[in-house]
Amino acid sequence: MRVQLLPSTFDAQGVATLEQRLTCFVIDDCVAVDAGSIAIATNSEQRSNIRDIIVTHPHMDHVASLPIYIDDLYPSLKEPVRIHATEEVIGLLERDVFNWNVYPRFSDLKNDYGPVMEYIPIPIGEPFRVAHLNVIAVPVNHIVPTVGLVVSDGQTSVAFSSDTAETEEFWKMINEMKGLDALLIEASFPDRLAKLAHVSRHFTPASLGQELKKLTHNGMDIMAVHLKPSYRDEIIQQLNALNIPDLKVMEPGRIYEW
């Protein structure tokens, strides 16, 4: 399985930097998990292939350019862009984003070929299919309804924590799985901002280190993501100081294969 954390920040020459402001993972160039930078950092192959997008929660850094992505593709879409999300998240996207004020309600609109956007409600704790992938979603501990995911292609499984603080069901799901190749987990704030991390329901390196003790099997790559750019160097130092052998920081733009 090929997984890329799309870049979301570019320097004055247009070259992608390592700072992650938005969240969008692309799997096998055709499925996206969240859509923060989907309209600004996908290549043309990805733009012509990605029609399935799993939205973990409606925070702006995870959906910022989703409306623009559908807008860009509007005349050429021969099938709708399918948004896979819980009923709660679909309701929030309809109320707060695709509400005719912030942006058009694309789920009501058609081009010459048919509907341009479709919502597919996802179950909690039950497997469902997205393109060639099997997915399971469970709630995690964030300030809006949010799911963490395990995505499998039959051979490889990768877990996405999304945004979360201390949580239980996600670890239970992972610990019950036979094999897991990679765990992509958030580390948003440095340890000195533990209070802010707590109220906004995110991890610091210290709380992430505690949380990883809930893993009952190891050997998978653990990739830290969602490092707030203002504190990136500090967070990386503190993650390294945890001395967890398989823990690395995921680089935006790079293609990882598991």
61 touches Zn ion by CB under 5 A: yes
Pairwise CA distance, residues 37 & 22, whole Å: 6
Q: Which span (58-66, 86-94, 95-103, 189-197) binds Zn ion, by CB under 5 A?
A: 58-66
Smallest distance, Å, CB 199 to Zn ion? Answer: 13
Give residue for tokens 């704030």: 189
Which of 152, 161 has the CB closer to Zn ion? 161
Smallest distance, Å, CB 36 to Zn ion? Answer: 8
Sites for Zn ion among residues 161-190 (CB under 5 A) = 163
Pairwise CA distance, residues 250 & 241, whole Å: 17
Running DSSP on this structure, what letter comes out for residue 109?
Answer: -
201 touches Zn ion by CB under 5 A: no
Pairing of the two strands 117-121 and 114-115: unpaired
44 in Cβ contact with 75 (< 8 Å) = no
211 touches Zn ion by CB under 5 A: no
- Which residue(s) pair with 128 in the sheet? 135
Instruction: Write the binding mask 68 to 107 for Zn ion: x where contact by CB under 5 A, - elsewhere.
Output: ----------------------------------------
Smallest distance, Å, CB 143 to Zn ion? Answer: 7
159 in Cβ contact with 174 (< 8 Å) = yes
Smallest distance, Å, CB 157 to Zn ion? Answer: 23
Which of 84, 228 has the CB closer to Zn ion? 228
Q: Is 97 in a helix, a strand, or coil?
A: coil
Running DSSP on this structure, what letter comes out for residue 80?
Answer: P
Smallest distance, Å, CB 129 to Zn ion? Answer: 26
252 in Cβ contact with 26 (< 8 Å) = no
Q: Contact positions toward Zn ion, by CB under 5 A?
A: 59, 61, 163
